[in-house]
Copies of this chain bind each other. A is one copy, B any other.
Amino acid sequence: MQTKKTGTQTFTFASPPSIAGHACVVGKKEGQGPLAHSFDIINPDTTFGEATWEKAERTMQKMALQAALEKAKQSTSTLDLLFAGDLLNQCISSGYAARDANVPFFGLYGACSTMGESLCLASMALDGGFGERAGAVASSHFCSAERQYRTPLEYGAQRSPTAQWTATAAGAVVLARTGDGPYITHITVGRIRDKGIRDASNMGSAMAPAAYDTLKAHFADTGRSPDFYDLIVTGDLGRLGRAVVVELFRRDGVELSGVYDDCGCMLYDLEGQDVHCGASGCGCSASVLTGHLLNGMREGRWKNLLFCPTGALHSPTSLAQGESIPGICHAVAIAREI
């Protein structure tokens, strides 16, 4: 078999997998933001009827997969593989959400890049001949993330101006080996980049070099320039990280800003919703993709999209031990037609 590798880190699919279904489920704050119209389910109190935030997150993740399966006219029993991840220690949202699904399961940890990682691996599996359908899922919950990574909500801690707001959101995609699109045509798998940022309230700056590295590799590997795409979205870099990416490309003489946005800048109203630098969390890029972006592609607003979620691969322990924050970004090229 011919290799599907193009350049240093991009893979071109021989039979681009088709997005058969996609759905997102979010909390109250996300439902008050500018993308409210694009969400499948908005929970009015962010508990999803559960007694703990951790259980709420897994319920939200199950609802997202269920909704995506319904749109694809499938059920968990027709999935060959399920790829899922989240931010919680030991990825418990994904493990417990998948417990009743009875589907061959791969748990992932890519921090906020997880929607990209799950789409890459699910696409590779289908293009490689490993089944007919695969699920790709990611989630985060503001309240479970705050108490794990920062401080319990009850402390009422003040947030730094560079901080981002972890989205309460889950996104799910059901991919099929064949179908009528949109199609995943290429992936550029990220390498870890670390420029020495040690401030856990400045994730955008920590992850921006990884986004720059992956985008640059994608353009070099494919020979495409940024304007090949109708829209390039990173995420969740937020306002500051987004500006860093634009500036890094400007130094190379490449102007991104006309076609470029960031999921962390899109999910909330940055002026009116008190989220400082924007949104973050696996659920941020997962819900922006599975709502606003894929809906827009289906409605004909965009033909070619480059979806590039970013993740920060640190932990509170690694920061306490003086380490900096490594970033990663995976790029997924999605085309309306092939």
Binding site for B on A (CB under 8 A): 1-5, 9, 11, 14-15, 52, 54-55, 80-81, 85, 87-92, 95-96, 98-99, 101-111, 117, 120-121, 124-125, 127-132, 148, 189-192, 194, 313-318, 321, 323, 326, 328
Contact = CB atoms under 8 A, between A and B. Distances in A.
A109 B85 contact: yes
A192 B315 contact: no
A80 B129 contact: no
A88 B90 CA distance: 8
Most chain B CB atoms below 10 A, which of A96, A190, A316: A96
Contact of A124 (B89, B91, B101, B130): B130
Q: How many copies, total?
A: 2
Contact of A3 (B90, B102, B107, B131): B131
A111 B52 CA distance: 23
A54 B3 CA distance: 37
Contacts of A107: 108-110, 117, 313, 328
Contacts of A132: 3
B102 A191 contact: yes
A108 B109 contact: yes
Contacts of A2: 129
A283 B95 CA distance: 20
Nearest to A149: B90
A119 B285 CA distance: 28
B192 A95 contact: yes
A27 B92 CA distance: 29
A104 B326 contact: no
SS class, residues of chain A in contact with chain B: loop
A15 B128 CA distance: 11
A186 to B, nearest CB: 12
A102 B326 CA distance: 12
Contacts of A127: 128
A105 B189 contact: yes
Contact of A129 (B105, B120, B128, B317): B128
A75 to B, nearest CB: 15
A3 B314 CA distance: 38
25 contacts: A3-B129, A4-B130, A54-B321, A87-B90, A89-B89, A89-B316, A90-B109, A90-B111, A92-B315, A92-B318, A95-B313, A98-B192, A101-B192, A102-B191, A104-B190, A105-B189, A106-B108, A106-B110, A106-B120, A106-B189, A107-B109, A109-B109, A121-B121, A124-B124, A128-B130
Given A92-B315, A129-B4, A321 B52 contact: yes
A114 to B, nearest CB: 9
B189 A55 contact: no
Contact of A105 (B11, B96, B191): B191
B313 A90 contact: yes
Contacts of A3: 129-132
A104 B191 contact: yes
B108 A314 contact: no
Contacts of A190: 104-105
Given A96-B313, A101-B191, 7 more contacts: A5-B130, A95-B313, A95-B328, A99-B326, A107-B109, A107-B110, A107-B313
